[in-house]
């Protein structure tokens, strides 16, 4: 099998920032073991594969793989996939529809941004998970949960200073497979509403540079907390990335830019 492979930095204004994703357009689907092996070989947080949903269809089946597992939802690799379709594959429709394990996802142009329409995930408060604060290396003031755990801190500086014990964190998270969203209000005058970092050692990713899917949880929380529907989020990983978000009730709109890094061909 031969296939094109694109490496795209998502939620980035230029190469070397945001979150890198590999994107592999397909005509037909190989066995799942081949998809997983390609993702492991790429050794990026996510490799996205898509193929036309049917002859003459304007929709695509989209799947996401970390180096170790297939996941239900990935924001930055969805953004990167839409970028590849619109910028490199001469797709003429104003909207892209992806059929996924999380339902239909739509991406469209919004000025110089790409806007993704994702399902909202509204977190519910939970007691402090035993050992989590120690593994994170900080003291959250609130915990909540969807498919991920959200840990709220008092300041952006506290989130930036976290230095997790990843083996301990992985041991805590492996039974559920959850990731941890560490978030706090942004500093006044920064131009952002809130900041975050995302840790997912149970998925083979100690820290994800920019995580679109995590904002399905954090945006509804901060929209209610701050009393506004439009928010600018900054993920303060080493690479960093900016997301322009809208709380739309049962949906979350997440916008960002992409930068091309590499184009090639794989043969397996």
Q: CA 221, 226, 232: angle at the middle one, nearest 5?
A: 80
Q: Is 238 helix (H, G, I), strand (E, B) or coil?
A: coil
DSSP assignment letter at 202: G
Contact criterion met (CB below 8 Å) for 145 and 165? no
Q: Give dist(CA 211, CA 243) in Å, integer.
A: 9
In 147-257, alpha helices (H): 156-161, 166-173, 215-226
Q: Of 27, 46, 95, 265, which residue is the catalytic one?
A: 46
Contact criterion met (CB below 8 Å) for 228 and 28? no
Partners of 142 in the beta sheet? 152
Q: Is 133 helix (H, G, I), strand (E, B) or coil?
A: helix
Q: Is 207 a catalytic residue?
A: no
Q: Give dist(CA 141, CA 178) in Å, integer.
A: 19
DSSP assignment letter at 53: S
Q: Give dist(CA 99, CA 84) in Å, integer.
A: 17
CB neighbour list of residue 183: distance below 8 Å, 6 or more residues apart = 150, 151, 152, 153, 159, 194, 195, 196, 197, 218, 221, 222
Considering only CA atoms, which of 88, 100, 96 is closest in space to residue 46? Answer: 100
Residues with catalytic roles: 46
């Amino acid at each position: 099998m031969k296939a094109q492979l694109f490496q795209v930095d998502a939620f980035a204004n230029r190469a070397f920032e945001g979150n890198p994703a590999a994107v592999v357009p397909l005509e037909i689907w190989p066995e799942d073991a081949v998809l997983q092996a390609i993702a492991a070989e790429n050794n990026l947080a996510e490799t996205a594969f898509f193929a036309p949903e049917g002859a003459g269809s304007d929709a695509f089946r989209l799947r996401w793989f970390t180096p170790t597992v297939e996941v239900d939802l990935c924001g930055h690799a969805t953004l990167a996939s839409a970028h590849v379709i619109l910028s490199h594959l001469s797709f003429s429709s104003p909207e892209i529809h992806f059929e996924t394990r999380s339902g239909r996802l739509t991406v469209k142009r919004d000025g110089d941004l790409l806007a993704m329409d994702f399902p909202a995930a509204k977190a519910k408060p939970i007691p402090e998970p035993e050992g989590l604060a120690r593994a994170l290396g900080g003291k959250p003031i609130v915990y909540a949960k969807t498919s991920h755990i959200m840990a709220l801190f008092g300041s952006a500086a506290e989130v930036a200073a976290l230095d997790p014990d990843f083996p301990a964190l992985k041991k805590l998270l492996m039974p559920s497979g959850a990731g941890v969203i560490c978030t706090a209000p942004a500093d006044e005058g920064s131009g952002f509403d809130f900041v975050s970092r995302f840790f997912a050692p149970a998925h083979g990713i100690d820290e994800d540079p920019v995580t679109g899917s995590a904002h399905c949880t954090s945006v509804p929380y901060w929209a209610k907390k701050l009393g506004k529907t439009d928010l600018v989020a900054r993920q303060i990983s080493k690479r960093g990335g900016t997301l322009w978000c809208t709380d739309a009730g049962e949906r979350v709109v997440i916008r960002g830019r992409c930068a091309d890094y590499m184009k090639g061909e794989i043969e397996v």
